[in-house]
Amino acid sequence: MRSAIAFAPAYTVQSASWLAGFFLAFPFAYPDVPYYWVAFSVFSLMFIFGRYQLSSKVLVLIILAMLSALISSYVGLSGYYIGERQIIGSVLFYSFFIFGSLIPDLQRFYKGLFAGVCTVAILVFLCFFFERPYEAGLDMFSLPEYRLWGVRYFPDWPNFLAFMLALGFLIGMFIERRPGWAIFCLMAAFMTTSRTPLFAVAIFMIFTVLKMEWRTRLIFLASGVGLLATLAIFLLPTIDLSSEFFARMFLFSDRAEIYLTAVDLIKASPVLGSGAVLLDESVGNFGAASFHNTYLDILVRQGALGFLIFLALILPFGRNINKEYLWVVAPFVLYFLIPSLFQNFLKHPHILMIYSALLIGIKRNEGA
């Protein structure tokens, strides 16, 4: 299929692609979830300016995933009451997977995304120095009254915003080659007090080391081990490991409680799932915001059948990728997939739309 304005001037579709990326950098819902008006507007924009080159294989998987979501809610074995809005949302969620196929200019899209993330980073910096949560020291990262300092300014605070900012760091380092802005985005990501940027730093370090020649790699690793050993010898005796800061760094009990609830729901209906259930008192979890794990979310709501279809949609297997381009996209694929084990990132419209563009880029072998 071709867009209704497939013959529009090149600068028009380039501008549309740039604007789509720019606005997706703002992962906000207003006034609350599920009203992601920015995502819906960008999606509509690409329907006007897009080129509609949909893979028949992906289209079949999307239709199967939608049917799985519908069947799970109506004939799942859990017996929970599920509202019509939840059912419609769980079905239409899979339409975001076609977004990447609509983007006419992926390079301009990612340039717009990077510009948007840098804009968000500037806003976070301004608010950070206006609110001054740093006056609390390390307690800023552990005590809720300081850790949530940005909630009055930024919706979906802090994890989803931190995800975007750390993504900007990876784009700036690996794609745009603008380390100054990349570090700026990373600093803003840590200002949100989320632990998500740690994933981006770890992935960046791993792939940076892997790209080195083996001699340089050995020197780098030896220097790193030496530095860590020195810091451990001189700093560990002065650090209170029982402080609130370190307690939160390794806190997992809140996630464990939610995950145990998820496992119980999976056991209730392992094949078809429990449908688009909410984590309210009806399922025994008393109002948790989400499953904090994209994969458990799909397993609970659509069972093993829906989960397999979801994996087929998100894993970049079966695509022709040359070795050089694999080095470009592998850090980004891991960055989307691994943190989703600890937060519902791939269920967020903005993040899923960006990931769909990444998967299409893999298929086209196009850089960002």
- Measured distance CA(136)–CA(132) in Å, rounded: 8
> Which residue from 333, 334, 347, 337 is spatially nearest to 302, judged by alpha carbons?
347
Residues 347 and 58: their CA atoms lie apart, in Å, by: 18
pTM (2 decimals)? 0.89
What radius of gyration, in Å, describes the C-alpha atoms of the chain? 22
Using one digit for the tens of pLDDT, what is the confidence trace for 46-74? 888 776 677 788 899 999 999 999 999 88
Q: What is the pLDDT of residue 286?
A: 63
Helix, strand, coil share of the chain (percent; to 5): 70, 0, 30
Sorting pLDDT into bands at 50, 70 and 90, what band is 242? low
State the average pLDDT over residues 192-216.
90
pLDDT (mean) for 275-300? 82
Asked if the model's pLDDT at residue 93 lies above 70, the reply is yes
Average pLDDT value for residue range 283-305: 86
Cα–Cα distances (Å) from 51 to 5, 28, 247, 250, in that order, read 9, 27, 50, 46
Which residues touch 77 (CB under 8 Å, ≥6 apart)?
268, 269, 272, 274
How far apart (Å, rounded) are the C-alpha atoms in residues 16 and 327?
28
pLDDT class of 212 with cuts at 50, 70, 90:
confident
Structure tokens at 334: 């891991």
If phi over 0 gives left and psi between -120 and 50 gives alpha, with beta otherwise, what is residue 244? alpha
Burial 53-66 (b: 16+ CB within 10 A, else e): bbbeebeebbebbb
- pLDDT of 321 above 70: no
Contact indicator for 279, 285 with CB cutoff of 8 Å? yes
Confidence at 2, pLDDT banded by 50, 70, 90:
very low
Cα gap 118→113, rounded to integer Å: 9
- Segment 308-320 shows an average pLDDT of 83
Closest CA to 90 of 65, 115, 114: 65
pLDDT at 320: 59
**pLDDT at position 223, please?**
77
Lowest model confidence (mean pLDDT) among 41-50, 147-156, 165-174, 219-228: 219-228
pLDDT band at 297 (very low <50, low <70, confident <90, very high): very high
pLDDT confidence of 246, banded at 50, 70, 90?
A: low
Instruction: Tell me the pLDDT tens digit for each residue of 8-36.
Output: 556 677 889 999 999 999 999 888 888 89
User: What gap in Å lies between CA 76 and CA 267, rounded to an integer?
Assistant: 12
Q: What is the pLDDT of residue 367?
A: 46
Give every CB contact of residue 342 below 8 A, 6+ residues apart in sequence: 255, 292, 293
Task: Report the chain's mean pLDDT, rounded to a whole number.
Answer: 85
CA distance 361 to 355: 10
